[in-house]
Amino acid sequence: MRGVNGRRYFGTDGVRGLAGEAPMTAAFALRLGAASAEHLRAHGVERPSVVVGRDTRASSAMLVAACAAGLASRGADVLDLGVVPTPAVAHLVTALGATAGVMISASHNPFEDNGIKLFDDRGYKLGDAEELAIEARLTELNGGDDVLGLPPRTHDAVGTVRRYAREEGHYLRHLLAHAPYLDGLRVGLDVAHGAAWQLAPRVFSQIGARLDVINAAPDGRNINVECGSTHPEAITRRVLSARLEAGVAFDGDADRALMVDARGRLVTGDHMLAICAVVRREPAVVATSMTNLGVERWLETHGIALERVQVGDRYVFERLQQNGLRLGGEQSGHVLFLDKATTGDGMLTALQVLAACRSSGVRLDAWLDQIPVYPQRLASVPVRAADRAAVAADEGVARALHQARESLGDDGRVDVRPSGTEPLVRAMVEAQDVETVERVLNDLCAAIRTAADGSGVNPSPGPAVAAEGSATETPPPADAADA
């Protein structure tokens, strides 16, 4: 397995893979925990304290136990948070004064996958340099009882593992501090049988919402299945059938959310970013190559600049920090409010959008009436995992990209990129009319399939469509923020 930017295991959002198969095994989690503890000790933290959380998938408990054992074996004290959203781990690192945080989750992926995300002592995801340093320590492992080939740690040098008491409520209080009073607003929640299945209803009920909650019975295997932010049609149906005023759909680890208005229209990360930017009077926001051109031009009419970076919340975060900005996000619903949190948070995002609607006196559906969205199509072509980057950079694909951009000019955009989480190459096309979009997308997918076939892949006859339709009707690709 090869990650990104020279990393062997880490992608754009931690390590991810099929649970039980390298690298997502108990043995690897043990080694990664031990290597992480040694990394912290090498940087002057003799007794690291690490908070560890997980989502509801069947393999998460196994990986938590293994990672915690690795951490403790090298002298770290571990606080097991149990099932919590990813942003809760980031928040509790700072709230509890921990040295680092670990989240066991594969986010939007199916239950059979899993992943490991690492956070530093500020609640930020690790940068490339730190991930490379930890990977270097992983190469030292010899598989013996001493794990790292280092002198054993015994007696008081062995770390501890204890459980976090839910009633301590640090993260709950943090969310409530940034929440509006909803005064009986009829809200639907799709918690995706995931990490937010208990906490999200608790938060929204405490701020006065009349709740209708679906997909809140996790069994270890049903996380993200036909539900949540990757399948917003579930919350759309409930909003329309129950005549709710808004709906929120989380992904498996609740670091992102999509919404639905009272008319059943999808509220993407583009919409949420735009609404909050206008209400907060931001001078500029950071978005990605996937963000809709219509949204960008609407923000310009409000005097708000939109800066684009490549897909991935780490790149949004980096640009926000570089330019001293506070608000950025992705079409997938992964939105960063750096004045309120250190990482994307689906519950915080939904609460901030509803707060913006309350403070502006403009209903969510009325906001959507204002924001133009160009027709956009997104498709994914299967490739071998090892060939993703090569296929996306293929000479024939590059020619097709150039021709597409020449054809669209200033009236549209096109993007081709390898998926960060799956063996796919993704293509996106947007323009002012659907016919043009579909013509250009078909040409691009044909070029990608030809390149994939040349790399030894046996692609399907047509693109496996990850998300098809205008951005107001269907979800953006699930890996727009995670890899």
Structure tokens at 373: 């969205």
Q: Which residues make Cβ contacts (< 8 Å) with residue 421, sequence separation at least 6?
A: 11, 16, 109, 478, 479, 482, 483
Q: Name the active-site residue from 73, 107, 289, 419.
A: 107
For residues 53 and 89, the answer to whether their CB atoms sit within 8 Å is: yes
Q: Report d(CA 405, CA 398) in Å as an integer.
A: 11
For residues 103 and 191, the answer to whether their CB atoms sit within 8 Å is: no
Structure tokens at 440: 């250009």
Catalytic residue list contains 289: no
Is 315 strand, coil or helix?
helix
The secondary structure of 194-246 as a DSSP string is: STTTTHHHHHHHHTT-EEEEES----SS-TTTT-GGG-THHHHHHHHHHT-SE
Going by C-alpha positions, the residue among 276, 250, 251, 259 that lies closest to residue 353 is 276
Which neighbouring-strand residues pair with 17?
A: 114
Cis peptide upstream of residue 476 (ω within 30 degrees of 0): no
The secondary structure of residue 343, as a DSSP letter, is S
Q: Report d(CA 273, CA 268) in Å as an integer.
A: 9
**Amino acid in position 314:** R
Burial of 359 (0-12, 13-18, 19+ CB in 10 A): exposed
For residues 115 and 104, the answer to whether their CB atoms sit within 8 Å is: yes
Structure tokens at 192: 């995706």
Q: Report d(CA 355, CA 147) in Å as an integer.
A: 49
For residues 56 and 223, the answer to whether their CB atoms sit within 8 Å is: yes
Q: What is the 3-state secondary structure (H, E, C) of 2-41?
A: CCCCCCCCCEECEEEEECCCCCCCHHHHHHHHHHHHHHHH
Q: Report d(CA 46, CA 228) in Å as an integer.
A: 41
The catalytic residues are 107
